[in-house]
Amino acid sequence: MSLTEYRRKRAFDKTREPEPGKALPRGKRAIFVVQLHHASRRHYDFRLQIGDALKSWAVPKGPSYDPAVKRMAVEVEDHPVDYASFQGEIPKDQYGGGHVATFDTGVWASDGDPEAGLAKGHLRFELFGKKLKGGWHLVRSGKPARQPQWLLFKDKDEYAGSLEADDLLADVAPAPAEDLKRAGAGKTARKKLAEVAVSRSSARKDWAALAGKLSGARKKVLSPDAFEPQLARLGDAPPQGEQWLHEIKWDGYRIVSTVVKGKARLYSRNAIEWTGKVPEITTALEALGLDQAALDGELIAGQGTKQDFNLLQGTLSGEKQGSLTLVLFDLLYLQGWDLRAAPLAERKALLAKVLAKPPAHLSFSSHIPGNGDDAYRLAAERHFEGIISKRADRAYHPGRSDDWRKTKSLASDEFAVVGYTAPKGSRSGFGSLLLARPDPVHGWSYAGRVGSGFSDELLRQVTAALPADAQAKPSVHVPPHDTDLRSAKWFAPAAVVEVFYRGIGGHGLLRQPSLKGLRPDKSPADLADSDRDTPMTQAKPAPTKKAATKKVAAKSTAATKAAVQIAVATQAAARPAAAKKAASGSARQRPASVVDTEETQFKLTSPGRVVFPDRGTTKQQVADYYQAIMPWLLPEIIDRPLSIIRCTQGADRPCFFQKHHTAGLEHVDAVKLKEEAGNQADYLVARDARAVMEMVQFNALEFHPWGSHAEDPDRADRIVFDLDPGPGVPWAEVVAAARQIRKLLEDLELVSYVRTSGGKGLHVVMPLNPGCDWDVVKPFAHGFAETMAAMEPLKFVATATKKFRDGKIFVDYLRNGRGATSVASFSLRAREGAPVAMPLRWEELAKVKSGAAFDIDTALKRMKRLKAHPWVGIEDVQQDLDKVGKLLGARKKARTGKQ
């Protein structure tokens, strides 16, 4: 989100409000804040952190707990995240002058993409503060207004009631008398509350009586501290027999919890307290209405599958937004009774009764008795990590034992970190981590190294955990291998990570390892336990008869799919020079064939929804267009960071720009890139056609790539001059301007290409090969545009200010900075008529009548007629700005010599 408007409205030498640019807090969940603001008029400022800013609304009367009361919320400019801690006086001569006080703050969650919800005009979310709790809604009003107006109202949940924001001001700093007099004091008759109590269950069951009936139950006083959990041993296959019950192996974090005197406390498996980190879970446990309890479970995001583990980590670190749930699978203490000696089947039956009507964010982990193979197969089909099999007739014992066994359907394991290699490129801290596993002979043995799968937050966490006293000598046994580790640094086992891998190599090292996550809940001592997970083979579901009969027939199809996957993966992975030519050169000149395979097939929802109402074009027709144009479009965007324009309600309704990866995108890659504020974020990157079509399924209409590649983001290989005509400029002048730019570039011995923008103007595109740094490219583009404006001030302007653009062409150079984008060739535009940005040969320019000359239909017809790409040969052009500098220097020297 842009903070330009926030910056424009404030003089930071006069106000104490925070100036944008400060690095975002790391490892923290997304926050909300509500501030009471006595400006010219009293109001509440309601702010939600979305991405790298606080999305903000001014709510004159403040939030109401009555779902029938819908409060007007006027959308205002985004604010920096550190504005959440701002309090005090804004000078009266400054924008928003008056007193600001914190009303409430906490974390918030939305089950889905919040940007998509806002673009659609309805965002449902939950707040976890002292005063604002439960579900809420923001719905955009259809009334025309200078600033977008929304309605803020309470969800009909257990917290709904009659409270108003003004009833909750007991601990809010009062405004000065002059501010109260000017802006108003609000509601006169008010309750003086500082917080809203947790809504507890009204069930009056005698849980103590039920608990006392369990076999082996005994009276005991419960401590609020953490208890040691029972652990499972890894097996090759599910155990057999009716004495076993089988549960899903949830892919999350183990959490044990206690409730004492109605107050819940949460702990990780290694006794680190999480009570404040997941307030929704703490609140949900207290909402059960129990005085005393001890429970065991797993904290998950989404459905708790292996794909959701990244969502869980991203939500906890503030990088993503997801709804969290504690899945409970054991009850160890209830209302004065210690139940650990009771059989598991009895404990789970009582737990199921306690959770008969669970509060939001709590769930019961059901099980299948007896049939382990079916449970395991079901878990694999639904993409879970595996199953946990437990003896139904046994008590709960801390530590690892044969009473609990786990069978994984995904090859992954936990390793100790014992060293690192030096960082390369833009990475800081380390290049890869050196891993070790327990060894009965040597203590610890080197298992390989992992250098992929790291998020920015994981890099920070792991770097902080690395010891400072690393040495060049290996700290563990290193078996013979082919890897060069001469520059590696080693130390004693210091942390635990979980790693995906594709089997074990000939030297006993991991093949193609990728980091799944840091395990702060475990220590190397846990792995060194003699009962740790020793098997390191990937368990596979037993094949059904139907699958076995198809095995031979599937060989040919599988080989074809594998060949396609290898071709696409190879094209995406080779960087920087070779793949540029493979992915962008020959592919640009001749359509690729890989997109016609089943790898690009996908499920399209709402295919009949109209996307372009002026012409009746549906979502299915948009998808058909992108499928058909894929051989031409894909080389334009592959491996480049992308921004997309998503139109969830059609091109005629508000759309939104998305550059960050979000939950639900399974085939679109997420690449960590540094942003202007200094933080890093997951950017969208398409590696193949399937990723593009997944974004189309997510209602993407436009594709805007960077002028550089994801693997080399600081080096530009494209410059784009966007010719944007102001009111009253004839099309012929836009064409003449493009030719003029071409001629000026030719004078500098630079080759350029042209395309329609799909809007009002044209783009002149100049390739750079091998490329230049952005700090060279941006000044060149700026200087070039200003030179044109200085040469012909009545024709060109180099500023975006609208009042200067009547009758002139804006030479937009702003698309030539790190992180800036321009629309891709062959991309649709979210405008009337479904226009397309179309590359042209220079000699065709005279025949084109406007920047929107090609649409969803004519674009396909044109490309079917052509035998080669209009920009054929662009990847063979060898030029960069160093050449320009040398040329100008030679010309200056020649002129000086003549004089």
Among 528, 559, 592, the domain-final residue is 528
Tell me the CA end-to-end span of the chain in Å, nearest whole number: 54
If pLDDT is split at 50, 70 and 90, which confidence band does 897 have? Answer: low
Tokens 């001059």 sit on residue: 721
Residue 607 covered by a domain: yes
With residue 387 as reference, give the H or E element that holds it: strand 386-391
Domain with residue 524: its CATH number is 2.40.50.140
Same domain for 374 and 418?
no
* Residue 815 counted as domain residue: yes
Indicate if 657 and 678 belong to the same structural domain: yes
Residue 567 covered by a domain: no
Which residues does 826 contact at the CB level (< 8 Å), separation at least 6? 629, 632, 633, 636, 836, 837, 838, 839, 859, 863
412-466: pLDDT as tens digits? 789 999 999 988 766 677 888 999 999 878 889 999 999 877 777 777 778 887 8
pLDDT score of 641 more than 90: yes
pLDDT at 810 over 60: yes
What pTM was estimated for this model as a whole? Answer: 0.60
Q: Which tens digit of pLDDT belongs to each residue from 80-101?
A: 999 999 999 999 999 999 999 9
572-599 residue pLDDT tens? 222 233 333 333 333 333 333 333 333 4
Q: Which domain, by its residues, includes 373?
A: 225-408
**What secondary structure, in 3-state letters, does 255-319 show?**
EEEEEECCEEEEEECCCCECCCCCHHHHHHHHCCCCCEEEEEEEEEECCCCHHHHHHHHHHHHCC
How far apart CA 623 and CA 835 sit, in angstroms, is 15
Q: Which amino acid is at 286?
A: E
Q: Which residues pair with 328 in a beta bridge?
A: 297, 364
In this structure, is residue 207 part of a structural domain?
A: no
Q: State whether 236 and 277 are in the same domain.
A: yes
Which of 539 and 725 is assigned the larger pLDDT?
A: 725
Give the E-state strand segments of 409-520 in sequence order: 412-420, 433-439, 443-450, 489-500, 514-518
- 495 or 329: which leads in pLDDT: 329
Beta carbons of 320 and 108 less than 8 angstroms apart: no
Residues 248 and 379 both lie in one domain: yes
Looking up residue 618, the CATH number of its domain turns out to be: 3.90.920.10
- Say yes or no: 136 and 266 in one domain: no
Burial per residue of 26-42, b for 16 or more beta-carbon CB atoms within 10 angstroms, e otherwise: eeebbbbbbbbbbbeeb
Residue where one domain finishes, among candidates 528, 547, 566: 528
- Domain assignment present for 213: no
Q: Which residues pair with 218 in a beta bridge?
A: 338
**Tally of domains within the chain:** 4
Per the omega criterion (within 30 degrees of 0), is the bond before 343 cis?
A: no
Contact 351, 226 (CB under 8 A): no
Same domain, yes or no: 148 and 270: no
171 in a structural domain: yes
| 425 & 394 share domain | no
Closest CA to 692 of 702, 678, 679: 702
Q: Are 445 and 395 in a shared domain?
A: no
- Any idea which residues carry the catalytic annotation? 249
Q: DSSP string covering 135-183, please?
A: EEEEEE--S--SS-EEEEEE-SSTT-SS-BGGGB-TTSPPPPHHHHHHH
Say which amino acid occupies 687. Answer: R
For residue range 233-274, what is the model confidence (pLDDT) as tens digits?
Answer: 988 789 999 999 999 999 999 999 999 999 999 999 989 999
356 part of a folded domain: yes
What are the distances in angstroms from CA 643 to CA 237, 656, 685, 866? 45, 10, 9, 29
- Choosing from 408, 426, 449, the residue where a domain stops is 408
Could you give the CA distance from residue 42 to residue 179 in angstroms, rounded to a whole number?
A: 9
Residue 780 pLDDT > 50: yes
Percent of the chain whose predicted confidence (pLDDT) is above 90: 59
pLDDT at 556 over 70: no
Statement: residue 566 has pLDDT above 60: no
673-715: per-residue pLDDT in tens? 887 766 678 899 999 899 999 999 999 999 999 999 998 999 9
Residue 416: both structure tokens together: 């100790």
Are 493 and 426 in the same domain? Answer: yes
Query: How many whole angstroms separate alpha carbon 881 and alpha carbon 170?
Result: 63
400 shares its domain with 416? no
- Tell whether omega for the bond before 839 is within 30 degrees of 0, i.e. cis: no
Least confident among 107-111, 372-376, 530-534? 530-534
Same domain, 101 and 130: yes
Whether residue 52 is contained in a domain is answered as: yes
Are residues 833 and 796 located together in one domain of the fold? Answer: yes
